[in-house]
Amino acid sequence: MDAETPQTPELSLPQAFLLLATNDKDGKPEVPVFVLRTTVAGAVLAELELAGALTLQGKRIRATGSVPPPDFQHELELIRGKSRPHTPKRWVAMLEGRALVQRIYETMASRGIVEQVGERHLGLFRSTRYPEKDHGPEAALLQQLEAALRVVLPSGAASGTAGAAVPDTGAAAAGGAGVPAETPGAATAGAAAGSDARTTALIALLHAAGRLGKLFPAADRVRADELAKDYWPARAVEDELRLIRLAQEEAATL
């Protein structure tokens, strides 16, 4: 990627995550399906928070009066409709699922970013894949991530697409276009130039899903862990994934 990479319309966090977690050629997930679905649910919460439609108060999520992104109106109505607020981890578990992931893929397909490809197995079952159709959005995403990671490289670290390190816990989550510097829950304060709330949120979510290290092999894992733990949607994803893996391990011993 270079400075000539064309600008593309901004993707939502769930769209950006799915694009970076899907194989460009065959359209298959690059992470386990349960990781894909859980992280997408966390990304929806992050997107609604960036829009100011919900906030974390204490340990529980509460909806605000702000208008949400139209793509996630349904999820916000579910949150608003609960008589008692739930924790982020609980909402990740409640929202995750095949239907949500497929809906986001189909939105990207309608924009010409990915292509919907159906496959039949034994003439009975149909699976759908979403290979890349337009590389522009992913190229722009990777360029944004590279720039954000380079801004906060620790002293002495090498830069470059595969060698960038992640922001430390003082890295900003503020300063994105249309995102207030006081955005609740965005990773701890003090943004470095070129790193906005949306990009920082995406970095934290990619790390929670185990995808950041694949895209940027030299990323500082300790700093990435700190960033994910400081950002509540990513922390909720990590907590839910931990429980799922424990359940899988227990089931394997029965």
Q: Which pLDDT band holds residue 158 (cuts at 50, 70, 90)?
A: very low
Compute the radius of gyration of the chain from its Cα atoms.
Answer: 18
CATH class in words for 13-244: mainly alpha
Strands 60-63, 125-129: pairing is: unpaired
Nearby residues of 245 by Cβ (< 8 Å), 6 or more positions away: none
Q: Which pLDDT band holds residue 228 (cuts at 50, 70, 90)?
A: confident
User: Which tokens in the block code for residue 188?
Assistant: 């701890």
List, for residues 188-227, the tens digit of each pLDDT value: 333 333 358 899 999 999 999 999 999 998 778 888 888 8
The answer to whether the beta carbons of residues 47 and 100 sit under 8 Å apart is no
pLDDT of residue 124: 59
- Spell out the long-range contacts of 92-98 with Cβ–Cβ below 8 A and sequence spacing 24 or more: 92/38, 92/41, 92/42, 92/45, 92/236, 92/237, 92/239, 92/240, 93/41, 93/240, 94/41, 95/41, 95/44, 95/45, 96/37, 96/38, 96/40, 96/41, 96/240, 97/37, 97/41, 98/37
List, for residues 3-28, the tens digit of each pLDDT value: 444 455 589 999 999 999 999 999 99
Kindly provide the residue ranges of all beta strands, DSSP E only, lying in 97-211, ordered along the sequence.
117-121, 125-129
SS3 (DSSP) at 164: coil
pLDDT of residue 157: 39
Half-sphere exposure of 223 (CA within 13 A, CB side): 20
